[in-house]
Amino acid sequence: MFDEETLNQYIKSYQLKIEERIFQVSKIEEPVSLYEPYKYIMAEGGKRIRPLLVMIAADAVGSDALLAIDAAVAVEILHNFTLVHDDIMDKSTLRRGRQTVHTKWNESVAILLGDLMIGKAYELLPKNEYHKRADKIHHTFNRGLIEVCEGQGLDVEFDGNMNVTLADYLNMIEKKTSRLLETAVVIGANFGYGKDVDIKSLRQFANYLGIAFQIQDDLLDLTASTASFGKRTGQDLIDGKITFLIVKAMEKIKDDSDKILLNNFFFNHGINETEIENFKNLFEKYDIFMDAESEANKYFELAKLELNKLENNKGVEMLLLLTNKLNKRDK
Amino acid sequence: MFDEETLNQYIKSYQLKIEERIFQVSKIEEPVSLYEPYKYIMAEGGKRIRPLLVMIAADAVGSDALLAIDAAVAVEILHNFTLVHDDIMDKSTLRRGRQTVHTKWNESVAILLGDLMIGKAYELLPKNEYHKRADKIHHTFNRGLIEVCEGQGLDVEFDGNMNVTLADYLNMIEKKTSRLLETAVVIGANFGYGKDVDIKSLRQFANYLGIAFQIQDDLLDLTASTASFGKRTGQDLIDGKITFLIVKAMEKIKDDSDKILLNNFFFNHGINETEIENFKNLFEKYDIFMDAESEANKYFELAKLELNKLENNKGVEMLLLLTNKLNKRDK
């Protein structure tokens, strides 16, 4: 058993390593028109959850996190590529409180930058010469890339679609959000030559964690303060995104006068800023914020149960701590 | 020595294998909104030069082309991904005589499809378990992806820039066009366990071939017929693209009245369709079509000289035949 203080110090030291390595691999090269935005997008990355998961998963299977640093950065680059391209599709102007790439530069730069980043990410994956599980790691990474695209494709398909069920929604966020977390832990665990049974538990842990994280994210769209969340309150509603709140509302609300609001949301592919309060009231009235919170909590608990299947060590305790931190986040 | 008839039969049989394998790997999966355009873009691919180069390069180093079929299709998918994303940036509506993906569907689909295709391409690269040069092949592929993005980045930077020199232009097309051909032959040659010295010659061959091909492409923009070229005559001029013709014109034209046309081209980031004739006349007046033709021919010849460095065999003769065919193409 490690005390929380010690675990937090480990996490902080890993985060520092990640920042250091990201700084090294995002130098300005030619053409500057691509590498400047590359440095920009990689420079401010928040908590670096995904690369942390890679590193800590290596610890969790009894290996050394620091060996997996390049693979960790590869996963972080892959994640940031998805943000750059998703922001174009979603027409988002703000991300983590800063201008998005296509807003600060332009769309061509943002498209190309994302493409370049995929190549940069692959360059950091281990060669077989140095790692006996390189094939597995590459395969996991390929599948992560493909399924994250499929998930975003489903998300785009959902736009304006009133028939999306909770099951459809879960399938979408499993691909869009969970899969990259799964990719992270599976790569980390393979880097550490983990046993199949442990890798399976870690993958399932990340799957649940991703679902919990996304439902919470959907909730925070309306309950977090703008300053800390880094984007406007109600941005998902304005953008017409099909979130847990919307899917749940469609499931619960039968009253015709309340349904009008929802119908307009679908019909207009989103709402005006002035309507956000009405939606907040609607979700309150039908206990949908509570539903979201308890659904997120359920998946956080399921995630932690998976961790229990692993032999306890520093890595497993760090994953548990991270999960609890994410569970309690309010931004 | 093989007669041309036999070589042509080989090329045709390789093309058939490529089409067959492409058909197998571009099945419709979920989400249909992504896989339908995937099938669409992969289904009509013209001459399949790049996968042919992969396969024939394997022959050229004394191995068997058919072993390299999956790597060949990976390179073709990578090439098609660049087309999908470039067409968004260039706002092109037609490609090979068909609607571009962002025109037939929408921009989000085109962005996501390109991303998905990168993952699909990587999935077809050899695993180390089955090929001892998998690391090298992956590295070559990564560099191809990165540099093709850098090349397109330079191309975008060139937009409206009157100071682009012939050297800048050559640097750009080496990355944007040659690099993917180099990627093709280096992957094919490594697949066939070629010697370093032969791989070096093949890479240089592809480098020259790419330059020749691009200059010829710039020329065909004005001299090919619409029907056979698959896009409108003068499309590059309309789009404001910096081509060999433009760079050469900037270098040669000192006369003020003739310069006005060029200045307007840069100032307006392109021209109206009605002005195409004026530009044709301008290029004729300064022998710029002839310059382009002789420059392209020069690089085609340089490419062939590189082939002479290889021990002659069926593969080398096929590369020579392909080069001659490309040299004589009029579409």
Q: What is the DSSP string of A196-249?
A: HHHHHHHHHHHHHHHHHHHHHHHHHHHHS-HHHHSS-TTHHHHHT---HHHHHH
Q: Helix B244-252 vs helix B276-285: angle between axes, to the nearest 10 degrees?
A: 60
Helix, strand or coil for residue A90?
coil
Question: Shortest CB distance from B33 goes to which of A34, A145, A153?
Answer: A153
Residue in A49, A59, A298 with CA at minimum distance from that of residue A183: A49
Q: Answer whether B149 sits within 8 Å of A115, measured CB to CB.
A: yes
Name chain A contacts of B139, Cβ cutoff 8 Å: 123, 127
Residue in B81, B153, B151 with CA at minimum distance from that of residue B121: B81
Closest-CA distance of chain B to residue A146, Å: 5
pLDDT at A226: 60
Q: Answer whether B145 sits within 8 Å of A127, measured CB to CB.
A: no
What is the DSSP secondary-structure string of B218-232? HHHHHHS-HHHHSS-
Question: Shortest CB distance from A112 goes to which of B123, B141, B152?
Answer: B152
Tell whether A97 lies on the interface with B, counting CB pairs under 8 A.
no
Name chain B contacts of A143, Cβ cutoff 8 Å: 119
Size of interface A-B (CB pairs under 8 A): 129
pLDDT in tens, B177-195: 999 999 999 999 999 999 9
Name chain A contacts of B145, Cβ cutoff 8 Å: 115-116, 118-119, 122
Distance between CA atoms of A192 and A84, rounded to whole angstroms?
30
Closest-CA distance of chain A to residue B199, Å: 21
Question: Shortest CB distance from A85 goes to which of B33, B111, B141?
Answer: B111
* Contact in structure between B111 and A88 (CB atoms under 8 Å): yes
* Contact in structure between B43 and B96 (CB atoms under 8 Å): no
Query: For residue B310, is pLDDT > 70?
Result: yes
Q: Answer whether A111 sits within 8 Å of B122, measured CB to CB.
A: no
Q: The tokens 């060949």 sit on which residue?
A: B72
Name chain B contacts of A153, Cβ cutoff 8 Å: 31, 33-34, 109, 112, 116
Tell whether A269 lies on the interface with B, counting CB pairs under 8 A.
no
Structure tokens of A288? 């949908």
Alpha carbon A325 to its chain centroid, in Å, reads 15
Residue in A120, A113, A78, A112 with CA at minimum distance from that of residue B86: A112
* Contact in structure between A108 and B89 (CB atoms under 8 Å): yes
Structure tokens of B85? 């994303």
Residue in B78, B77, B250, B230 with CA at minimum distance from that of residue B161: B250
Tell whether B109 lies on the interface with A, counting CB pairs under 8 A.
yes
Structure tokens of A81? 């590529």
pLDDT at A202: 98
Region B33-39: mean pLDDT is: 97
State which H helix or E strand residue B98 sits in.
strand B98-99
Give the HSE-up count for residue B290: Cα atoms under 13 Å, Cβ half-sphere.
6
Q: Answer whether A145 sits within 8 Å of B122, measured CB to CB.
A: yes
Residue in B189, B34, B191 with CA at minimum distance from that of residue B125: B191
Mean predicted lDDT score pLDDT of chain B: 95
Q: The tokens 């992504």 sit on which residue?
A: B34
How open is the CA angle A22-A23-A24, to the nearest 5 degrees?
A: 90
pLDDT at A1: 80
Query: For residue B61, is pLDDT > 60?
Result: yes
Closest-CA distance of chain A to residue B168, Å: 12
Q: Answer whether A157 sits within 8 Å of B31, measured CB to CB.
A: yes
Residue in A72, A97, A95, A75 with CA at minimum distance from that of residue A83: A95
pTM of the model: 0.96
Region B227-256: mean pLDDT is: 88
Q: Is B81 exposed, middle or buried (0-12, 13-18, 19+ CB in 10 A)?
A: buried
Question: Which of A149, A157, A168 would best serve as a mutation to test chain B binding (most B beta carbons within 10 A)?
Answer: A149
pLDDT in tens, chain A (331 residues): 889 999 999 999 999 999 999 999 999 999 999 999 999 999 987 899 999 999 999 999 999 999 999 999 999 999 999 999 999 998 889 888 899 999 999 999 999 999 999 999 999 999 999 999 999 999 999 999 999 999 999 998 998 899 999 999 999 999 999 999 999 999 999 999 999 999 999 999 999 999 999 999 999 999 987 655 566 789 899 999 999 999 999 999 998 999 999 999 999 999 999 999 999 999 999 999 999 999 999 999 999 999 999 999 999 999 999 999 999 987 6
pLDDT at A236: 92
Tell whether B256 lies on the interface with A, counting CB pairs under 8 A.
no
* Contact in structure between B178 and B206 (CB atoms under 8 Å): yes
Name chain A contacts of B118, Cβ cutoff 8 Å: 115, 118, 145
Question: Shortest CB distance from B89 goes to which of A111, A114, A146?
Answer: A111
